[in-house]
Chains A and B, each alone.
Chain A
C-alpha cells in the first residue's frame, strides 16, 4: 500500500533552514509523533540542512511520511551537490571514540533518529537518509 507522498524543500539560503525545520515539525505532527519526537526530527533536519548550506551550493530536504498503519513513521533525505565526504568513517565517528570529529554532526543526527544512512563519494554529493518510527 504505497502511494506515499514526497515533499521537497530546496535549501539555497539560511532562511530555507527555518522552512525545512517548520515542515519537519508539520509532517512529524501529521504522522503522529509527540512533541519530543517532532523536536528530535526537526533538530536532525536543521543539522542536515545547515550542512547542505555549509558544504554545498544547494541541496534539498525530502520528506516521505510513512503512513502504513503497521509501520508508521517518517523518512527524510538530505541531498546536496557538494564535494561529498572524503572520509565517511571519520565523519561518523564520535568525539568520544577518537577525540576528533569532522564537525558535520552526523553521529549526533544518527543518535536522534532510529535509522540513518549516508551515500556519498568525493565529487558526487551526499545523501543522508534518516528515519524515525512511531
Chain B
C-alpha cells in the first residue's frame, strides 16, 4: 500500500474494526484517496465499525470536515458504524463556531475509548441475549 503523491491515510484491521489515523494534511487528493481506500476496506472486511483518529491534526476546517463526513456517510451506507476520535478542543470549538453539521456524528476521545465503547455494547448485547434464552428457567438469577 505505498503512497503515490503526498501521503495517504492508512487503514488497518483490528479485531472486527478498521482503524485509520490522519497524520497528513487533508488535501482534496488525500481525502479522495482515503474515501476510496476506506470503502474498499469496509467492503472487503465487513468490519462492524470504522474508527478514524484525528488526534494528529492541529486544524480542521469546514471543507475538510465535510469531506470526512461524506466519506463516513458512504461507509455507513455500506453497513458499518463510523467514529471520529481524538478531535482537539480547539478543532471542536472552531467547527461548532463555524456551524458544522455534527448531527449523527459518533465520536470518542480516543481510539481506545471507541473500542471500549464497542466492547461494552457487545457485552451487554450478549448478556441480554443470554438472559432472554435463560429466561424460561426458574432458578437462574
> Is A bound to B?
yes
A-side residues, CB < 8 A to B, are: 14-15, 18, 21, 25, 35-40, 42-43, 46-47, 50, 94-95, 105, 107-109, 111-112
Q: Count the B residues whose beta carbon is within 8 Å of the partner chain — how many?
A: 19
Partner of A47, one of B88, B93, B98: B98
> Which residues of chain B are within 8 angstroms of A95 by Cβ–Cβ distance?
99
Partner of A40, one of B27, B28, B93, B99: B93
B-side residues, CB < 8 A to A, are: 25, 27-28, 58-63, 88-91, 93-95, 97-99
Q: Would A36 and B90 count as touching, CB distance under 8 A? A: yes
- A44, closest chain B residue (CB): B94
Q: Would B99 and A18 count as touching, CB distance under 8 A? A: no
Q: Would A39 and B59 count as touching, CB distance under 8 A? A: yes
> Which residues of chain A are within 8 angstroms of B27 by Cβ–Cβ distance?
14-15, 18
Q: Would B63 and A50 count as touching, CB distance under 8 A? A: yes
Q: Would B98 and A38 count as touching, CB distance under 8 A? A: no
> Which residues of chain A are within 8 angstroms of B97 by Cβ–Cβ distance?
40, 108, 111-112
Partner of B58, one of A14, A25, A111: A25
Q: Given the interface contacts A15-B27, A18-B25, does A42 sit within 8 Å of B89 by beta carbon?
A: no
- A43, closest chain B residue (CB): B94
Nearest-Cβ distance from residue B25 to partner chain A, whole angstroms: 5
Lowest 9 A-B CB distances belong to which pairs? Answer: A39-B90, A108-B98, A46-B61, A43-B94, A36-B90, A42-B59, A18-B25, A111-B97, A40-B94
